[in-house]
Structure 1
Amino acid sequence: MRSELITVRTGSRPTVRDITAEAEQFVAGSGDGLLHVFVPHATAGVAIIETGSGSDDDLLTALDAVLPTDERWRHRHGSPGHGRDHVLPAFVAPYATLPVLGGRLALGTWQSICLVDTNGDNPTRQVRFSFLAG
């Protein structure tokens, strides 16, 4: 298995950051197999969604509706409402596994690999790409 850790700047506000290009670069020329994308953080996730047409903003809006930033959370360190960031990985898993065929990601036409980060307290994140040849 081949693995690489990249650093992604997410900033100080909730964001959906497309990391498809970085994933494509990692698997380029690798043949057939599986790409595993993992975010080693307790407050971030990985989503396979359409980007650029508003779906990324819609995802953040939906997360705000389900996981509002208020004082209801028992986990209270960090910014107000930070407890919801620790619940996020139960809704947006911190990993995804994708097929790779001929050294290319086998994504659908409008699918992108996205890092979902609602925690503005950490402006940078790490993402681990692992390729398992098949």
Structure 2
Amino acid sequence: MIIPSFLERLQIETGGSFHCHAITADLQALVERSDVGQGLLVAVGQHTTTALVLNENEELLLRDIEAFFLGLAPPERSWLHNDLHLRQGIPPDEPRNAHAHLIAMMLGNQLSLPVVDGRLGIGRWQSVLLVELDGPRQREVLLQLIDTGGPSPPTGSDSSRRS
């Protein structure tokens, strides 16, 4: 039995050294283009200084999140990873970004999201956010959509809650 799946690479130009980018619409667009009714969408960030999270995309909350994590791992702290003279084989433009790696480890870098009736199975206030921790940069998220079977809803149907 062959299980249909779809692979896509989402390219994102990030802004700021710590910034949350809403990518929910990009993920939902993949589901719609693929005509998957029931399935699973796996998203994996391709960088060690980004994270993928599911949370509310509200500006003041995002500022609180930034303050919280930068308080846990302050960029100005003396991190061993930032002592470039101690490391070997690094490029001349190597950033001092230990804090970004540490925050990424706390947040995580992949999400598995159900697809239900042709829609991402997320709550009303939930958004998929790519968290840039060492930008601005060009970033990539690998998306794998697996069709687990079941019909897609009719075009124009509103059988599930929209995010």
Q: For structure 1, which runs of at least 5 residues remain unmatched after alignment?
A: none
The question of whether the paired residues in 1 share the 8 Å contact of 2:104 and 2:133 is answered with no
One-letter code of the match for 1:57? R
- CA distance in 1 between counterparts of 2:75 and 2:98 reads 8
Higher strand fraction: Structure 1 or Structure 2? 1
Question: Which one of the candidate residues 135, 142, 147 is aligned to 1:133?
Answer: 147
Q: For structure 2, which runs of at least 5 residues remain unmatched after alignment?
A: 85-93, 149-163
Match of 1:16 in 2: 20
- CA distance in 2 between counterparts of 1:2 and 1:30 reads 10
The question of whether the paired residues in 2 share the 8 Å contact of 1:7 and 1:124 is answered with yes
Match of 1:102 in 2: 117
The question of whether the paired residues in 1 share the 8 Å contact of 2:19 and 2:132 is answered with yes
Question: Which one of the candidate residues 6, 26, 42 is aligned to 2:10?
Answer: 6
**What is the CA distance between 1:115 and its match in structure 2?**
0.2
State the number of aligned residues: 132
TM superposition outliers: structure 1 runs of 4+ over 6 Å: none
One-letter code of the match for 1:125? R
- CA distance in 2 between counterparts of 1:119 and 1:104 reads 31
- CA distance in 1 between counterparts of 2:142 and 2:6 reads 11
One-letter code of the match for 2:128? I
Q: CA RMSD in A?
A: 1.5
Identity percentage over the alignment?
A: 26
Are 1:60 and 2:75 matched, yes or no? no
Query: Looking at CA atoms only, which structure, 1 or 2, has the larger radius of gyration?
Result: 2
Are 1:74 and 2:80 matched, yes or no? yes
Match of 1:50 in 2: 56
One-letter code of the match for 2:145? F
TM-score, with normalisation over the residues of structure 2?
0.76
